Structure formats: structure tokens, C-alpha cells
Amino acid sequence: MKPSDRPPLVSTSPFDGDDIDAPPSEEELIAAKSLRALLEPGAAELGQHPDAELAQAVRSAARPAALAPGRHRRILDRSLASRSKGRVIYVVFGGVASLTAMAASFALVMRQADAPSSAATVAALEAPPAMALARSTAQLFPEGIPVTGGTSDRVDRIAYARAQDLRENRFARWGVR
């Protein structure tokens, strides 16, 4: 073994960073060997090793490499193509949604046309049901409306009567009255 290749003395204590000539620990020797292998010519691209990542960052800051034209072309193609793809998705989705809506409305119309008419439905179509009409609240108060007092009672009576009208109207429209 040549003197220049002789490994340095090994220390059992961790390196504290101050004494640069301190003997290396076993972990340091392993890490140093690993970094050496990564920096060798022909080695694979600097990978996930922490020192290798930092080495790549140092190189990138000091001497950033140009992007290969072919590589740039692929990135550009992908970015511009994704825009078209997005448009296609929108168009396809819109078309499918429109067709579905049209089919649904067609089915609804056909179903209504084919459905057997019940007597109530026919009657409801031929003669509109009698509905409660808007009218004065005076008839709700045959005893007369006092000038002062009793407001809450009157509002309750009106609300109750109108709710009943609304319910009756709905039943009439649905043909269940």
C-alpha cells in the first residue's frame, strides 16, 4: 500500500468540527468513502447522499449547466399539451353532460306521455281546482278590530288562517283533495 493511500488513524469520538486534523471516526470514514465513490468520473448522477446533494447544489450555483434542447422540448411539449388536454376534458365533459340532460328530459316527456292518466289527473288538467284567493282579513275578525291592543292575537289568527289556505291550495293542485 502506498503511503498516500494509507487510511488515516481512526478516532472513537465524534468529530466536533473545530480540529480539522482530528482522526476520523468510523462513520466519517464510511461517509467519506461513499462521497468519494459518488464523485468519481463515470459514477451515476449525484443521488440522494446528503453530501452528494450538497455537492450538486454547489456545482449548480457555481457553474449551472445548460438545459439540453431535447429535454427542454419535452418539457415544453408536455406543458403546452396539458393545456389542450384540459380543453378536451372540458369539451368532453360538457358534451356528455349535455347529452345526459337531453336524454333525461326526453325520457321524462316520454314517460309522461305513456303513463296511464288517472281520473284525478285528467280532472285536474281539465278543470283547474278551486283555490283559496287572496282576500281581506276583515272576515277573520267578525267581532271587529279594536283600535289598540291584541296585535299578537290578530297576527296569530291571520297566520293560522293563511297557513290553512296554503295547505288546501297545495292539496288542490296535487289533486288529493
Partner 1 sequence: MELALAGIWGGFVEPTGHPFPFWLGLCIVRPVAAELWTSDTEQALVVRAKAGDKHALGLLLTRFGPMLFRSVLLPRLGNTGAAEQALGDTYLRVVERISSFEWQGCGIYPWLRMVALHVAVDLLRARRREVLFGPEDLQREAEASEQDLSDGDLTDTLIERRDLDAARSTLERALEKINPRYASAIRLRIIEERPRDEVAQTLGISTATFDVVLHRAMSALRKAIAPLDPLAGES
Write out the residues near partner 1 by the rule CB under 8 A: 3-8, 15, 17, 20, 24, 28-29, 31-33, 35-36, 39-40, 45, 50-51, 53-67, 69, 71-73, 75-80, 82-84
Nearer to partner 1, 55 or 124 (CB): 55
Nearer to partner 1, 67 or 103 (CB): 67
Burial class (CB in 10 A: 0-12, 13-18, 19+), 36: exposed
Question: Which amino acid belongs to residue 131?
Answer: M
Count of CA atoms in the C-beta half-sphere (13 A) of 11: 12
Nearer to partner 1, 8 or 128 (CB): 8
- Shortest separation between residue 88's beta carbon and partner 1, angstroms: 14
- Shortest separation between residue 1's beta carbon and partner 1, angstroms: 10
Question: Which amino acid belongs to residue 6?
Answer: R
- Shortest separation between residue 45's beta carbon and partner 1, angstroms: 8
CA distance 125 to 15: 96
CB 140, CB 157: distance < 8 Å: yes
